[in-house]
Structure 1
Amino acid sequence: MHKRSELLTFDGVSKIYRKSGEPVVALDSFSLSISTGEIVGLLGPNGSGKTTCVKLATGLVSADEGIVSWRGDPLPKQSPFKHLREMGVLLEGRGAAYDRLSILENSRYFCKLRESKFDASYFSELVDALEIEDVNTPIRQLSTGNKLRAGLLGSLIHKPTLLLLDEPTLGMDIFGVECLERILQSGVSKGVAFVLSSHDLDFVERLSSRIVCISGGRKVFDGDRSHFMGLSSRYLLSLDIAETNLEAAREALSSSTGRVWRFVSASQIELHIDDYQQVCKILIDLLPVLSTFRGMELRSVSLADRYKALIEFQREGEGPMA
């Protein structure tokens, strides 16, 4: 078991861009700490500040306020890139690669660029783990799948301590995703930290031990996945009702529970449920109109459901849930 140590830290960081002369807040008083041996799922809608986090972490942009630190030391403004020797980055599913060079040549080059010794044995391990068939053909001649795998290999070859993965499953088939999962699990066992910024919430749910959620440039949740999954009810009951029977269904539902049913379409409604006993009570109360329903589904609430509920909660003007 590896002893955890702090790697990347954001302390009260704010970043403002300008669009047509108007200020656009990308991050607002944002604080976060990433330690060795953890997989952090970084969630947020488009424009929430996730990409800005990556740019700040890599030194591509500097903070307007607050401090970004690596291993406890603030990134120096004059030379903010030295820590990149210990960091791997994959942006929007793509790693840095030169199309005219092969996977092997790219790997050697990026090791040299980071002043890291090229480890032929480790290179072979990654090639096998990613199920890459050809390492000597120029990148531009590879299939889309192998280009994606090459990008992952390039972000791993120098043995980073922290890997920032932005949409790592974008365009990847199921076999590639399984390879990636095995690599992450193996890396964590060796003390490597991973940050997953992705809209593939099933992937994030399977891999992440911790969830960080951003909305409007502010952190609205930071905690264990189990805590995130326990923010609301355990089950979701969906009913598909013929429009001609909506009024009767509404009357039956209002007498069954005091909870608010959410209409997801003109005829489909949802309700969050705590336990099966509540489901049984609702169905008994609905017996008089049950035969008029076109469909019914009861399922466990997923990370995607929690995420959507949290973001909607924030957009309605509520405060952070940390």
Structure 2
Amino acid sequence: MKAPTLFGTALLAGCLFGIPVSKAEVSDWQQVVTHDIPYRLQCVQDDWPFEVHYNEQVQEELSSYLRTGRREAEAMLGRTPQYFPIIEHYLKVNHLPEELKYIPLLESRLRPAVESAAGAVGLWQFMPATAKGLGLHINGQVDERRSPYQSTETAMRYLTQLYRQFDDWALVLAAYNCGPGRVRRALRETGCSSFWDIEHRLPRQTRRYLPRLIATIYVGKYFDQHGLQPKKHKYHADHFRVFRIHHSVELDEIARYCEVSLSWLQALNPGYLEVYAPRQETPHYLILPQQALPYFARYIDKESRKVGTDYAIAVLDSQWKSVALEGS
């Protein structure tokens, strides 16, 4: 059964004649949800990687963003300059749809250290078993689910795997939320191939997942039309660079050497649970604000004399990521 839509005749007339409803013409929330919002969604839905339905669930989520939760929405949007450049880079590298960058807004409100009641952690809210199965390290020193880079690399790999299974982004998103096994079972039981036709056989949280994501993408794209103003968070870095590290490093020592606060350095590198980054078999990442870079170059020279030239090469050879992922 198809989900009910709320696109009205006024909306369709607006699309046909290309005349959007202006903010000045909309005086209350009911007019906004029956004119402005559905008009915009109707006119962009062909550009999104999944079918856009504007239903009561989308309305409810939009209300929480644009009415009751405006302050939280502005804080969430204020984190996008920090994390969107990272996510957009990996989406481009993996040839994935741009709209997927809004998943972490829905999952975590772009808070890399947040943990759900069920134990999911990070921007992409990976459960421990899923994370370990995908190769992320979780121990007393590191939790790579909290690392913006490792978690995003892993999310891209996982989303690609799911798309190879389902060849449909709406089904991929459902599988991301509840697991591919449940989605395959719902497809078998219904004999249908559309998310909107199998949603009644999915868990309640998953039934709401795509409508919630539609609302989240809308807010991410059109927040300024509703008077939302992104608010920078305390440890925001207008410009930052990331280095791939093969050796252990002391975060408190780097903070002193680079003349930045340890709390800021830890906020930029939430995957490290201690004040040091331990040596690992696989490389790990260090994120630094732009103003720390001249000092960090001298720090590398100092450490190179201690451990040999391999240390400097391991760090400096990975500056391609620093250039590719510089954010503003």
Q: Which structure is higher in helix share?
A: 2
TM-score class, shorter: under 0.3
The alignment's TM-score, normalised by the length of structure 1, stands at 0.27
For the pair shown, the structure with the greater C-alpha radius of gyration is 1
The alignment's TM-score, normalised by the length of structure 2, stands at 0.27
Q: Which structure is higher in strand share?
A: 1
